[in-house]
Amino acid sequence: MEIEIKSDSDITAAEREQTDDCLRQAFWGLIDYHYEWSEADWHVMMRVDGMLVSYLAIVERVGAVNERPVKLGGIGGVATVPEWRGRGLASAVMGKAAAFMDDELSVEFGLLLCDETTVPFYRRLGWEIVPGPLVFDQPGGKTTFPDLTMVLPFAGRAWPQGTIDLRGLPW
């Protein structure tokens, strides 16, 4: 197994096709959000024998909590193809992403959007639910996210309370 992190500008057309296919397989018929989403800045990809089996995207962003700037590493599109689930692959990819966000990107917090069904998975990896509301940009204006927000603090930081503004599209 190999986990690789690549910037979006370094992703080949074939790799983009593989990540899209991984996301389709993992989420086919499961996602009911009708939003415009951010493009990834970074791609975390796990391959087995050259086949992409687990993936996630990272978006670097300075968001805000109560208008105070907060440097975020946004996690999105956490996916493992169905036949490879239950082997700890997504946990490994999440761990690699967390280390990268802390060591290389120097973000204050990782932040992800989820529903109740995925909370136990993320909680096992050290992520915690934070109160919102959380708002983000959409073509029609600011939109409030209806589900949960989770963060992973770095360097012992405490999450500030208040309205979270992603200051851009969600991830």
Tell me the pTM: 0.94
At CB < 8 A and 24+ separation, what contacts does 131-134 make?
A: 131/161, 132/163, 132/164, 133/163, 133/164, 134/163, 134/164, 134/165, 134/166
Confidence of residue 5 (pLDDT cuts 50, 70, 90): very high
Query: Residue 46 in contact with residue 10, Cβ under 8 Å?
Result: no
DSSP 8-state assignment for residue 158:
P
Is the pLDDT confidence value at 33 over 80?
Answer: no
CATH 3.30.67.10 fits 2-165, yes or no: no
Query: Residue 98 in contact with residue 44, Cβ under 8 Å?
Result: no
Query: Residue 133 in contact with residue 163, Cβ under 8 Å?
Result: yes
Residue extents of the structural domains in the chain:
2-165
Confidence of residue 30 (pLDDT cuts 50, 70, 90): low
Q: Share the mean pLDDT of the chain.
A: 95
